[in-house]
Every structure is written in structure tokens, then in C-alpha cells.
Amino acid sequence: MAGLSLLAEVWASALVSGRHVRERMRPTVSTSARAVSSLSLGRVPNVLVIGFDPHTIPGFDPAPVAAAIERGSKVFAELGLAEDLFLIDFAELGGPAEAKLVEKLQRRQYDAVVVGGGIRKGPGLLELFQTVVNLVHWHQPEAAIAFNDNAGDSPDWVLKALEQRRDR
């Protein structure tokens, strides 16, 4: 369990570092209903957001991340995007998390899948990141894949990814 605590501490530190650089690299997509309608899907886009459940990370204050997830969910709803959350329990790494994700990916077709920043930024989580990306690719081959900077900017990156898919 001490390993999980250390991993959580380093992960939290990585989330904070480089924030000023991320601020300048926002997508150029305008988060508006017009942007969603321009995707020409003819239906409400389905989006899966994959990240860590901030309440399960040892020694980590979940409040800021939980609030950002809530803000992102509100923006998804305002834009008319159907958001589905899959939050990984930190204690389930190396265990049932992968099987649960496969089950989630097989349940319905998604237009876009977001791989949250905590999964790819945290030190020692490269194998998890690779696994998640491969599972998304294998089980949702038509979905656009998006990566966010934080839980609150997922809608921006989803719109960008959906535009890229549309324009390919």
C-alpha cells in the first residue's frame, strides 16, 4: 500500500507542474452548440470520458478534480453531447480495472473517447496509458480519441477530435 501512496503523491505533483504551458495550448475549437451541430452526425454524439476516480487516490484531495469533472459534465450537457464517465478506482490498478473498462467499451458505440490527463501524466502509469489507448482502439475503432489537460476542458478536446475525424 505504501507504493500506491507514493504513486499518488507523485501523480498529484505531475498534475500541477507545467500548468502555465498547458494554458497556452488550448484547442482552437469554440465550445458552442454551433460547433456540435457542424459535426453533421445527425444525432447526439456519445462521449466516454476515462479517468481516475479522485476519491480513491490515497493522500490526494479529490475536491478540485471532482469539481472539474462536474464542470466538464455540465458543459457536455449544455453542448448536447451525451457524456458517459468511467472513473477508475486507484486501488483496482493491475486488477479488475481493465476488465471493467472492456465491459464499458463493449456496451455501446462512442463517437469520441477521452483519456484523462491523470492516466497519461502520472509517473509509473505508462503501462496503464498504453493499455487504455489500445483497449479503446480495439473496442471502439471508429471513435475519435481525445486527451485532456484537466477534467474541465474535456469538451473542448472532444470537439477538436470530432472535427478532426469529420475532416479526415
Does residue 165 register a pLDDT over 50?
Answer: yes
Burial of 121 (0-12, 13-18, 19+ CB in 10 A): middle
Task: Please state, rounded to an integer, the average pLDDT across all residues of the chain.
Answer: 82
Q: Which residue has the higher pLDDT, 152 or 55?
A: 55
Could you report the per-residue pLDDT of 33-64, keeping only the tens digit for each? Answer: 556 655 666 788 999 999 999 999 999 999 99
Confidence of residue 151 (pLDDT cuts 50, 70, 90): confident
Q: How confident is the model at residue 23 (pLDDT cuts 50, 70, 90)?
A: very low
Query: Predicted confidence band at 27 (pLDDT cuts at 50, 70, 90)?
Result: low
Residue 141 has pLDDT above 50, yes or no: yes
Q: HSE of 157 in the Cβ direction (CA atoms, 13 Å)?
A: 21
R_g of the chain computed on alpha carbons: 16
pLDDT in tens, 66-98: 999 999 999 999 988 999 999 999 899 878 999
Instruction: Read off the pTM.
Output: 0.80
Instruction: Give the residue carrying C-alpha cell 473542448.
Output: 156
Domains of the chain with bracketed CATH:
2-167 (3.40.50)
